[in-house]
Amino acid sequence: MHLNTRILTPGDASQPSAGQTLWGNPEPHAAGVAWDWVQIQQGVFAMADPMGLVTNLRLIGSRGETLSDQQVALYLNELVRTLPWQNEVQRALQTGEDISLPQVHH
Could you read off the pLDDT of 23-35 as tens digits, one per residue?
Answer: 999 877 789 999 9
For residues 9 and 18, the answer to whether their CB atoms sit within 8 Å is yes
Q: How many CA atoms lie within 13 A of 41 on its CB side?
A: 0
| Separation between Cα atoms, residue 76 and residue 29, nearest integer Å | 19
Task: Kindly report the average pLDDT of the chain as a whole number.
Answer: 88
Q: How far is CA 87 from CA 6, 14, 22, 59, in A?
A: 13, 24, 13, 27
Res. 101 pLDDT band, cuts 50 70 90:
low
| pTM to 2 decimal places | 0.84
